[in-house]
Amino acid sequence: MKITVLGGTGFVGRALLARLAAEGHALTVLSRNPHAHLVRLLPPGTRVATGDVHDPAFLRAHFAGADAVINLVGILNETGDNGRGFHRAHVALTKLVIAACELAGVRRLLQMSSLNAGRGASHYLKSRGEAESAVRASALDWTIFQPSVIFGPGDGFFCRFAALLAIAPVMPLARAGTRFAPVFLGDVVEAFRRALHDPRTIGQTYELYGPDVHTLGELVAMTARQRGLKRLMVPLPDVLGRLQGLVFDLVPGKPFSSDNFRSLLTDSVGAVDGLHRLGIVPTRIGQQLPAILGSPDVKQPRYDRYRRAAR
């Protein structure tokens, strides 16, 4: 199968490409500016086309002859806080992808979205919902995936908090009581793979979430325990959580933002188990966390180090 992928150099994209390449699919990754080190992480034989993914002619040219298009493009933060960045990345691009598919004669579209798309007050969730509406209104053979937070090696959740906990003895946490049902990267990849091969998934939306439901505070504490760190978690009242978002809006890289805070006002848990519908047995957090974060940092007793040094 010939498959064109947008967002293929990201966290999910690299894992999905590796799985699809192992099956022998011919893969083309579209990227605006593929960095050399990211390209080297892609499976051998993967073709990388460099150009503006917001250019209709570029999309149409590289969709031509494809059996399916997979759109994985997504951002968690934008410049400023007006929703324009989210609209461009999620809504405007999705509409361009749909139009290019129609013009290039590609029927099959697999669209990455998010659990709670269209709900809540955040620009992120609103734009995901608008993108879904555009896909559903199209004449394409579409499938939409709505994952909760995705965990796996090198993720932006457990690994990110592990890095913060390594340097912060105190962790002030906005919306610590928000609930999540994290889904394993490998399960998300398998969901996409199965949908490609199963025409029964056409016109379906799949909520992808794991079997373990925890609050944000519990997940951060779980991260600290796995790394062998004793840290003080300080749940922030919403007024301070909003202030934290406003402050981090001004920090380069935005480790947290006002829109992240608004997203956290809605629990990231599902209602209809998409993994079960696809025949996938979900992976529990405990099965993968040691591989993701490594073994706890156990400090050797000082007297034992002295004894070893004296030998």
In a domain, 29, yes or no: yes
pLDDT of 143-167, one tens digit each?
A: 999 999 999 999 999 999 999 999 9
**Residue 90 falls inside a structural domain:** yes
pLDDT higher than threshold 90 for residue 103: yes
Residue 37 scores a pLDDT above 90: no
Contact 114, 125 (CB under 8 A): yes
Residue 225: CB atoms within 10 Å: 14
pTM (2 d.p.): 0.93
Confidence class for position 41, pLDDT limits 50, 70, 90:
confident
Share of the chain above pLDDT 70, in %: 94
For residue 74, give the nearest of 51, 53, 104 by alpha carbon.
53
pLDDT higher than threshold 50 for residue 56: yes
Average pLDDT value for residue range 90-102: 98
With a cut of 60, say whether residue 124 has pLDDT above it. Answer: yes
- Surface-to-core class of residue 139, CB atoms within 10 Å of its CB (0-12 exposed, 13-18 middle, 19+ buried): exposed
The CA-CA-CA angle for residues 37, 40, 43, to 5°, reads 145
Would you give the distance in Å from CA 309 to the centre of its chain? 46
Give the per-residue pLDDT at 299. 45
In angstroms, the first-to-last Cα distance of the chain is 63
- What digits encode the pLDDT tens for the residues 10-24? 999 999 999 999 999
Confirm whether 241 is domain-assigned: no
Has residue 171 been placed in a domain?
no
Average pLDDT over residues 303-310: 38
- Residue 65: both structure tokens together: 């002859």
* Residue length of the chain: 311
Q: Does residue 168 lie in a domain region?
A: no
Q: Do the domain assignments include residue 207? A: yes
Edge-to-edge strands of the sheet including 108-112?
47-50, 26-31, 2-6, 68-71, 108-112, 141-147, 204-208
pLDDT at 225 over 80: yes
**Helix, strand, coil percentages for the chain (3-state, nearest 5):** 45, 20, 40
254 sits in the region (left: phi over 0; alpha: psi -120 to 50; else beta) called left
Q: What is the mean pLDDT of the chain?
A: 93
CA-derived radius of gyration, the chain: 21
Domain assignment present for residue 294? The answer is no
Q: Which CATH number is 102's domain given?
A: 3.40.50.720
Domain encompassing residue 122:
2-152+180-211+268-283
Sorting pLDDT into bands at 50, 70 and 90, what band is 295? confident
**pLDDT > 70? residue 309:** no
- Check whether 233 has a pLDDT greater than 80: yes
Tokens of 37: 């080190």
Identify residue 102 by its one-letter amino acid code. Answer: E
Name 294's Cβ contacts closer than 8 Å, sequence gap at least 6: 226, 227
Average pLDDT of the segment spanning 133-144: 98
Q: What is the pLDDT of residues 166-185, one digit of tens each?
A: 999 999 999 999 999 999 99
Q: What per-residue confidence (pLDDT) applies to 82?
A: 96
Q: Give the chain's domain count.
A: 1
CA distance linking residue 226 with residue 219, whole number of Å: 11
For residue 158, being part of any structural domain is answered with no
Would you place residue 199 in the very low, low, confident or very high pLDDT band (cuts 50, 70, 90)? very high
